[in-house]
Structure 1
């Protein structure tokens, strides 16, 4: 599925790099584990090989998808979701692991932040979503600093 050295995105954790694939015995069961170094938190995560697909881990987005993501970020329509539902909707989007969804969450919360203030949980969600988005953008091969600045 993935190889050592691959850059990946782990939903709700951001981008990281597969540093190793190790065999470990935990609770009497031996399994293969992916050892991932997360760039945002600077922590190491171990995920069993058989849980990789269900965890929504995916490769870092390719540069050719960047134009669409920038367009969504700059020109996309914000979701009009009532305040009570907004946090859940945005959290669910981030959990998908899709960069387009993360860009939408950052865009929408950034727009709300400019007009009003975000509540405490939304501020934290915005900060985390923004860090996760930037962490992935920094790993896209061929991206320029100007392209990353669009998302700030």
Structure 2
């Protein structure tokens, strides 16, 4: 590992922050905190109307990463096509696992949550908490697909939706 990973991210870069998904680095600023000068990435999450300041020296350590490669996007799409893997564990335990996957920032893990919680119209109803997790995972996946493909979220949502529909049709 190189001693300094400072130059890895630059202003205007899209990045993935594990707990919040895709954001854009607006700037890099210096701020004095308790007498220590810190260099911070200022990241805007426009959809959530939120701005986050992340110390540049901690970014990689906390799991901030660049957007996935097109290769990872296609792996995520392949994951969506797979058969849902639903463990027999209690819902509270499964919900916890799904949440960890969503917040891991790992696109494949997020795709697994979408796959496992996706329901077609004729399948059993989803509980409120299942729906919440499904929508959170779907939104993370869609935003990253949109950012990587340089498309808008509507086009990305259609792409993801088409994969889920084709999977349901094949089942």
Shorter-chain TM-score bucket reads 0.7 to 0.9
Aligned counterpart for 1:73 among listed residues 80, 90, 93? 80
Query: Secondary structure at the residue paired with 1:44?
Result: strand
Q: 1:46 aligns with which of 22, 45, 53?
A: 53
Question: Per-residue deviation at 1:142?
Answer: 5.9
Contact persistence 2:15–2:67 (CA under 8 A): yes
Which ranges of structure 2 fall in alignment gaps of 5 or more residues? 1-7, 162-171
Q: Which segments of structure 1 move beyond 3 Å, counting only runs of 4 or more?
A: 111-114, 141-148
Secondary structure of 2:48's partner? Answer: coil
SS at match of 1:50: coil
User: In the aligned structure 2, how far is the partner of 1:102 from the partner of 1:133?
Assistant: 7
CA contact (8 A) 1:40 1:131 kept: no
Q: More relative contact order in 1 or in 2 (CA 8 Å, sep 6+)?
A: 1
Q: What root-mean-square deviation, in Å, do the aligned CA atoms of Structure 1 and Structure 2 show?
A: 2.4
Question: What TM-score comes out, normalization by structure 1 length?
Answer: 0.85
Pair 1:72–1:27, CA change in 2 (3 A): same
Name the residue aligned to 2:165.
Answer: none
Structure with bigger gyration radius: 2
Name the structure 2 match of 1:135.
143
Give the aligned length: 152
TM-score, normalised to structure 2's length? 0.77
Query: Structure 2 vs 1, CA of residues 112 and 13 (structure 1 numbering), >3 Å: closer, same or farther?
Result: farther
Structure 1 residues 131 and 46: CA distance shift in structure 2, 3 A: same
1:149 aligns to what SS in structure 2?
helix
Instruction: Please name the residue that 1:149 is paired with.
Output: 158
Q: For residues 2 and 14 of structure 1, what CA distance do their matches in structure 2 show?
A: 16
Relative to structure 1, the CA distance from residue 44 to residue 146 in structure 2 (aligned partners, 3 Å threshold; closer, same or farther) is closer
Q: Which runs of 5+ in 1 are unaligned?
A: none
